[in-house]
Structure 1
Amino acid sequence: MTITDGEGVNVRTAVDPALVIAARGGDEQAMATLVAEAMPLVYNVVGKALHGSSDVDDVVQETMLRVVRGIAGLKDPDRFRAWVISIAYRQMQDRGRSIRVATALGPLVGDVSQWPDPAGDFVDSTMFRLHLSGERRETYEASRWLSVEDQRVLRLWWQESAGLLTRADLATGLGLTPAHAAVRVQRVKAQLALARTLLRAWHAIPRCAELTEAAQKLSGPSDPRWLKRLGRHVRRCEVCLAHERELIPAEHLIAGANLAPVLAGLAGAAATAGGVAAPVWGLWDPLQRAARYLMAKFLPVGGLVAVGTAGAFVLAVHYPAYQDGGPELAEPSVAATAEAPSAAPTAGPGSTPAPAPRPAGGVNGVTTASYYVAPDGSDTNPGSLDLPFATLDRATSVVRPGQNIALRGGVYRPTRPVEITTSGTADRRIVLSNYRNEIPTIDASQIPADAPYVSQRASYWTVQGLQVHGAPGSAYVCRSCAYSVFRGLSFHDNGQTGLLLRDPNTTGNLVVDSDFFRNHDTATNGEYADGLGIEYGSGTGNVVRNCRLYENADDGLGLHEFTGPVTIERTWSFGNGVNRWGIAPFDGDGYGFKLGGGTRPASVDHVVTGSAAWDNAGYGFTESGNAGTLTVRSNTAFRNGKTGFAFERSTSLLRQNLSIGNAREWQLGAGVDAADNSWNQDGWSGAELHTTDPGSTLAPRPPGGGLPPTTFLTNTRDDRIGAAMGR
């Protein structure tokens, strides 16, 4: 089932507990519905584990019988999905069906240059029946190099990505907390990426000579140990590692096994189970109703094909084909390494900058929509799931209040700007979102230089889960927008400010859980490209929360000539104003938080709490001529090229702020009320910080959004002082 949150976004939930309670009490229709919802999940889990074995149907059948028989004993209805999966795994274990780790490089005898193509061992009939693309087949082949436990994690993650499991279900299946499960998933995805890279490197013509030499040093049958050993070579070899940049992320290539509820066989087995002639739970009729339920549930959905059989039916999932893409398709911050991903520290002013990892964006998007857009669609299509539009421009031209637009994963290369002029309403928002866990990446490099990629002149929108890069101008400009939400965005490497909210009546907007980085304006010498700007306008109630603004040519956050108060909460701004592009001359200011500015700066009472600025070329936090009464509480400035906290003309209130390692720690005017800050006390130094290594701040975001937890810049002396840093 799905519910709609306050912003009109569909959110996937677990099975309805009331349905489980009803089935537990003997309601046959409820039982049929539960069977219908659980059987595709079970068939996918078992089918992947047994790789298309003829025993799949038997395991599924026995699992569902045990579900029907045991439902009365399920104490916690909220754990239904996890309970079903645990039954399926027990059935596979009872039958002794261990997960096979197949040979990937062929027999290790003689000249390794003559090793046979592993595809012959890997590509089984199940995959051919599903008509998997070469990319999907390659991903499946590479997954065989993973360890047994990693394959189990991968299967559960596949189900989560397909929308059949929640993260809580996955964590329960692994016996871990959701936080630890997230780490395990990231590691397995990294291992899968490494295996795919190795597979491509092995089949490359010509092959890397050092890879062949490394393989000759090994002996015995190939198994996961080979991935570990040859993976070391791949990670440090530029020739082999080049293949990583060609990978389409596994998220976009997941092809489910046949969802084949063998209803007739299951019902027949139920009717005679244990020698009892009478049906268990009156199962035959509920299963017939379950079949009708499944048919009604899946047939209208584009991309699903129902195939009738005698007494049963098979649902074969056909996923849309994605265009080949480069590294922009890769999921953010997942590197091909056996360890959890970590980011390199951001370079400080005047040093050689480290490459910025890809953003850790991505949100759980809508599960259904009024209109769909896909890279392989057409604007002559009706915009359905199976016949999607090709461009966002087309979808925004037809959407109406209360409707959703879902962007499928893949790379889009638009050639014309998008104009959004249709507003939603307070109770009928318009949602523009990624689809499920897919990541739409928009390469806006072909948009004319005199226009942003998206210009929104409308209100009551929710925009989430998008990546936009390469626009000659801004990625997204919202003019006089009201009550819009921008969530889970990644706008980077654009020619001007990533996201800009501007003009009068910019009111009640929320920017949350988003990353804006490496935006730079070469044509104007780095002077105007901020990460995020709320500028040149007016309005109240605008909030920035849990964002990362980094390595932009000018400032992280700019409030230049904006006359309404803005609230900034738990946001990080770092590494801005460093010339990473060889721009000459370079005029980027590099302020972390610029809280004013203009020929005649307005007096505005902005609020900044729980935020941090580090390694910026300019100020950490500055009023920039704003003479208002700003509230600046529990923030941290570290290692900035100029003053950490610069408030000279205002009557601001500064409390519990931490400033260490800046060119100057504070610069305050007579009207500023500053007390209980680090500079009001003696003895503060970098030695009292838990760590000064910022690498963890670019880790993936936790489930549900927010900033990654880190001890960076937290102190051992007084935890009231400074930003909490994701805690």
Structure 2
Amino acid sequence: MDADHAGLVVAAQAGDERAREELIAAHLPLLYNIVGRALSGHADVDDVVQETLLRVVRDLPALRSPESFRSWLVSIALRQISTHRHRLSVFADRTVVIDEAHRIPDAGAEPQDTAILRLHVSDERRQVVEAGRWLDPDHRVLLSLWWQEGAGSLSRDDLAAATGLTAAHVGVRLQRMREQLDLSRTIVSALNADPRCPRLDETVTGWDGTPASVWRKRIARHTRDCPACAPTPAERIPAELLLLRVAPLAVPVGLLAALVAKGLLPGTALSAAGAASVAAGGGSLHGSLAAKLSAVTAHPLLSLAAGAVLVTGATATYAVWPEPAPRAPAVTAAPTAAPTAAPRVSPSPSPAAPAAAAVVPPGPRSLESVEDPALYLTYADDFATLGRVDASAGAQTRQRATFTVVGGLADARCVTFRAADGRYLRHRELRLRLSADDGSELFRKDATFCPQPGSVAGSVTLHAHNYPGSALHHRDGGVWLDGDNGTRAFADQASFLVRGAWA
């Protein structure tokens, strides 16, 4: 991020609304393209963008490194995308009709696809976008990020910071995604061949036409052994060259209206957007903000986006997935409790009414996952995760799964966890990690967690002291600070049984 944006972050943290508007306007195109392509144009894209920006505004005062704002914003967007996908899968059986009704009309005419057809781009560009539908969900998100990296909007360091991985690991994951993308391009080419291979027709008997991993694997087995369907690498244009020539997604006017309604953009933003196709700036909007919105909306695809279902007259409708209201902490550290000699591996707990109080006794403790018994809270390098621990585990494994519980650094009614090496568990950029005490007030708050009753009797959820509506939640290989989505799966993933120390 350039120095100007870092200065805007500092000013916005100090309460400068104009700086906040500048930040949002500057990053809205990037955010919309990441979310829009990762979700393949689903009609909930606007909602996910809004939820991301609301979290950004809420958590901005706690961001310690202004220069990392861009990667921090992307990391929040990735979590919102993951939450959205999880939400759809959980409620799929109960909301099939609603989900179908909310998909963009004309299945197969996603915004980027329609845009490509309208602009008469090459068959291979259409092919690479269509191939993106065949990717696994995680790879689709990586494709979205890689797209922005190729366009120069994100650096490899940004991707590493946003995903919590090293740059080398990001490179490995991107390479796997590209391999799956190339395979998917072959599938698309084979399916669109005229005439189509007769053996391929036999392979896809019973297929409903919807891209899915099981059909990708079946078709791929055919294309690998079929001379007619096998790709000709020498004639294929590299995907990165094709993607860079695909026009970016334009932010729809309906989304701008929703952001204005939420107070994230000034009311004059819509008038500036309307004038963007004529001239940049103008009106009473700050000049730089008008320029940003001009860049967002003065796009040849704006008329296409504005005419879609994303805009309904002069109003915009949107929904926000609510977080639970802050609650007062329940009973926490019990001064007379003593640690047990050794933990036991319990069978999977059966559902039961939660206990009236949540207790995390002081002293050496280990936290066992309710969702997957025998997995314990531990860490790898600086990041918290869940790991398997049993009687045969080595000394280091047992030690890493043991934390000393002390009174909360920011609130004695809550608790703080200290590792054997003297570092503390704290959340930073919404991820749980180990960090040395720097003596700051922010550190004390980030390292303080208030227990609440968990999903089964005797279990606890750990809510952040400075974000009471969010709890420690295991997902995507790490432990994150997330808002409850109301499902039993989330409750189990965010619940722990307090056990005696392994070390």
What TM-score, normalized to structure 2? 0.46
Structure number with higher relative contact order (C-alpha < 8 Å, ≥ 6 residues apart): 2
Structure with larger Rg: 1
Higher share of residues assigned helix: 2
